[in-house]
Amino acid sequence: MENYKPLKMLPNRVWRIYLGGLLLDKLRGEDGEDGYFPEDWLASVVSANNPPREDTPEREGLSRVETENGTAYLKDLIDADPEGYLGAKHIEALGVNFGVLTKFLDSAERLPIQVHPDKQAAKQLFHSDYGKTEAWYILDGREIGGEAPHILLGFKEDVTKEQLHELFDKQDIAGMAALMHKIPVKKGDVFIIEGGTPHAIGPGCFLLEIQEPTDYTISLEKCNTKGEKLPDFLCHMGIGFDKMFDCFHYTRFSEEALLEKYKLQPQEVERDESHTVTELISYDRTPYFSLRRIDVNGDFTRACTGKPCAYTVTEGSGTVAGIPVQKGECLFIPAKAADFEISGNMAILECLPPKV
């Protein structure tokens, strides 16, 4: 019988069109600098939707794990043994797909004003079973250009599809940003961004993002921050400049209503002398994923749940199933993993796939 154990991830930095990554390097105890690899995709079975580059790696975006025989792509292990890694109930509901993608993301500049399709738009426009509802757990931040960390989220003004299209055609970035709420963020904040909601991560935000497993991003900006023209594909993802505006929800929010809907309040759900579990994002709020923080201060047994998940350590160090881990490292937990011990003094984020 296969002995299913937690699998340690290798680093998986992914190219993006914006600068960042310094705080991600620091999390892992490395000297670094901001560049065009500001994200690390954790337990990923999703390929990055990037244009070709001279140095494009093979299967960019897909995570590799350490095995007894060397390294392997997580996707290949799942495809070869779906029930062992995902569980029969998960497969029956979702097919052979982990169903979630988690990332470290560190921005040194504002990301493009953008939107992701909801499930309905993804089905109609991209023929995909998944949209891209996502959530952000703020890990840290830094002041850049005299500005504290912040995000742009939701329309604060009445706007129509035609008006937004006109601003896009003019590339009136300031005009598009002025339609949106500017929200300051700090360590520990949790936001959910439903598909269809316009948003942009501002400069100085270091976060863990958990999302539906796609890389569909509709961007309202045709150039990067250097003014360099980007491929049209990075705006419309292949559906064209007209259809991309069908991905937006043109809902106007007051700031109070916006925060009530999209800023979440973590809830402690378990505590004993060895660990505390705080629910950051619950299945009651979204069926697409769940996120918990486990604060470890000693030793305890993690009971087998029969569902797959990913762990990432954000503070401290310890061991998981005898595997040494430290902040910045990630594990994939197969559905058929037996009960295992967790020990140390650390914070673990537990990333769970859709509710089944």
- Does residue 177 carry a pLDDT above 90? yes
Task: Tell if the pTM clears 0.85, that is, is over it.
Answer: yes
Phi, psi angle pair for 331, to nearest 5°: -130, 150
3 band by pLDDT with thresholds 50, 70 and 90? confident
- pLDDT for the residue 52: 81
Determine the average pLDDT of the residues in 278-300. 97
> What pLDDT score does 225 carry?
80
Other beta carbons less than 10 A from residue 293's beta carbon? 21
Asked if residues 38 and 110 have their Cβ atoms less than 8 Å apart, the reply is no
Contacts of 243 (CB under 8 A, 6+ apart): 125, 236
Q: Which one has a higher pLDDT value, 58 or 215? A: 215
Taking 60 as the threshold, does the pLDDT of residue 1 lie above it?
no
Residue 77 has pLDDT above 60, yes or no: yes
Residue 226, pLDDT score: 81
Amino acid at 6: P
**Do the beta carbons of residue 195 and residue 214 sit within 8 Å?**
no
Which parts of 267-308 are beta strand (E)?
267-271, 275-281, 290-302
- pLDDT per residue over 226-276, tens digit each? 888 999 999 999 999 999 999 999 999 999 999 999 999 999 999 999 999
- Average pLDDT of span 55-74: 91
Tokens of 305: 């749940």
98 close to 63: Cβ distance less than 8 angstroms: no
pLDDT of the residue at 55: 78
Nearest CA among 133, 125, 139, 126 for reference residue 20 = 139
In this prediction, residue 350 carries a pLDDT of 97
State the pLDDT at residue 49: 85
Cα separation, 2 vs 164, in Å, equals: 54
Whether the Cβ atoms of residue 323 and residue 8 lie closer than 8 Å to each other: yes
Which residues share a beta bridge with 151?
A: 183, 201
Query: Which range (6-10, 24-28, 54-58, 106-110) has the least confidence?
Result: 54-58
What is the predicted pLDDT for the residue at 167? Answer: 98
d(CA 133, CA 192): 8
- The alpha-carbon radius of gyration of the chain (Å, integer) is 20
pLDDT on residue 101: 95
304 burial level (CB within 10 Å; 0-12, 13-18, 19+): middle
pLDDT for 58: 83
Q: What DSSP character marks residue 144?
A: B
Nearest to 107 by CA among 196, 40, 232, 22: 22
Q: 55 in helix, strand or coil?
A: coil
Q: What's the whole-number average pLDDT of the chain? A: 95
Q: What is the pLDDT of residue 53?
A: 82
What is the rounded CA–CA span in Å between residue 27 and residue 310? 18
Mean predicted confidence (pLDDT) in 215-227: 92
